[in-house]
């Protein structure tokens, strides 16, 4: 009993020294259950293809989540097979003490060609958006000891007709060009795209279009928690929002699970719903990203 009481007093004492919004608390385990709840709230707006009422609701949701943060709305117009479309990337900046930036990115809209089948994109766009919202809880309220971390919610990743170099990745192509022109690209130490990472049966492939050393570092981060078996056992060659940054020489990685359902049968179907996701998968990816940030800070 004396030992238990001593431990209890020690915990109370530490609680007074390190309140819940402190750096120590922020470095704790990633809360996958809370990320899943953010995903659920976000997905509840329904289909959110560019130009739809759901898309406007998704934007309002993001603005509400980051109302007290440094949120930039990066609006632009893209020419698409469906005509000129107004889109907006959202960027949330958390400053660090080191000169440089680590970017974690997600797209948040749903597929335009699937707009008539009640496609809500719970995993494809929803899960990574929920994860980044929870990631902000680990970053805000302090100056980071390492590099600045920017959370980027990209618009227009999905094609309007058929994916190609000119139809799809509208938001990332716009942002990469913008950041090249204003010199921001030179500051980016790593650009990491998260996509379809909430699947209960998590299996993230190693993408041949990503930067090799950055994938190796992510694998090392996953091994800290014994989660290496969820990463990179299979290989893929993916074209995603990282490609415009890869082409400009930015160290970039696509963290994506393209085995969503048997033979990827849930992808881009009305079956991409919340019941296919798990808090465990979001915790695995979230903890791996927190450790990846720590390892990048040490480079």
CA–CA gap between residue 214 and residue 220 (Å, rounded)? 10
Using alpha carbons, list the distances in angstroms from residue 221 to 116, 215, 217, 256, 269: 40, 10, 6, 16, 32
pLDDT at 28: 60
Q: Residue 22 pLDDT more than 90?
A: no
Q: What is the pLDDT of residues 246-263, one digit of tens each?
A: 999 999 999 999 999 999
**Can you tell me which residue has the tokens 């014994």?**
226
Q: Residue 15 pLDDT more than 80?
A: no
Confidence of residue 1 (pLDDT cuts 50, 70, 90): very low
CB contact burial 140-171 (16+ within 10 A = b; e otherwise): bbeebebbbbbbbbbbbbbbbeeeeeebbbbb
Average pLDDT over residues 63-88: 97
Average pLDDT over residues 181-202: 98
pLDDT at 209: 98
Pinpoint the residues of the chain covered by CATH 3.40.630.10. Answer: 31-298
Average pLDDT over residues 85-113: 98
Q: Residue 56 pLDDT more than 70?
A: yes
- Which residue(s) pair with 90 in the sheet? 73, 153
Q: Residue 117 pLDDT more than 90?
A: yes
Percent of the chain topping pLDDT 90: 90
SS (H, E, C) 58-86: HHHHHHHHCCCCCEEEEEEEEEECCEEEE
pTM of the model: 0.91
Q: Residue 224 pLDDT more than 70?
A: yes
> Residue 193: which of 222, 218, 213, 167 has the closest Cα?
218
* Contact present, 289 and 104 (Cβ < 8 Å): yes
* Contact present, 112 and 82 (Cβ < 8 Å): yes
Superfamily the domain 31-298 falls into? Zn peptidases (3.40.630.10)
Residue 232 is given by DSSP the state E
The helix, strand and coil proportions of the chain, stated in percent and rounded to the nearest 5, come to 45, 25, 35
CA–CA gap between residue 38 and residue 32 (Å, rounded)? 10
Q: Residue 5 pLDDT more than 60?
A: no
């Amino acid at each position: 009993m004396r030992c238990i009481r001593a431990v209890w007093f020690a915990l109370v004492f530490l609680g007074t020294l390190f309140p819940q919004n402190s750096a120590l608390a922020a470095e704790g385990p990633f809360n996958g259950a809370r990320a899943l709840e953010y995903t659920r709230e976000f997905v509840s707006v329904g289909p959110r293809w560019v130009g739809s009422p759901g898309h406007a609701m998704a934007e309002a949701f993001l603005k509400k989540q980051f109302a007290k943060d440094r949120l930039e709305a990066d609006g632009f117009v893209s020419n698409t097979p469906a005509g000129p479309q107004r889109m907006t990337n959202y960027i949330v900046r958390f400053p660090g003490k080191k000169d440089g930036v680590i970017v974690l990115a997600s797209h948040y809209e749903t597929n335009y060609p699937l707009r008539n089948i009640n496609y809500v994109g719970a995993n494809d766009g929803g899960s990574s958006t929920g994860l980044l919202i929870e990631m902000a809880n680990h970053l805000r309220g302090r100056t980071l000891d390492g590099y600045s971390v920017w959370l980027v919610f990209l618009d227009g990743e999905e094609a309007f007709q058929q994916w190609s170099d000119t139809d799809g990745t509208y938001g990332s192509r716009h942002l990469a060009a913008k950041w090249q022109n204003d010199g921001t690209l030179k500051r980016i130490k790593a650009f990491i795209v998260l996509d379809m990472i909430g699947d209960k049966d998590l299996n993230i492939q190693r993408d041949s279009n990503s930067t090799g050393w950055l994938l190796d570092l992510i694998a090392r981060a996953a091994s800290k928690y014994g989660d290496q078996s969820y990463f990179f056992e299979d290989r893929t060659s993916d074209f995603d929002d990282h490609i415009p940054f890869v082409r400009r020489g930015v160290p970039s990685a696509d963290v994506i699970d393209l085995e969503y359902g048997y033979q990827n049968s849930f992808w881009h179907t009305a079956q991409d719903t919340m019941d296919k996701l798990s808090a465990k998968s979001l915790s695995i990816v979230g903890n791996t990203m927190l450790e990846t940030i720590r390892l990048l800070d040490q480079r």
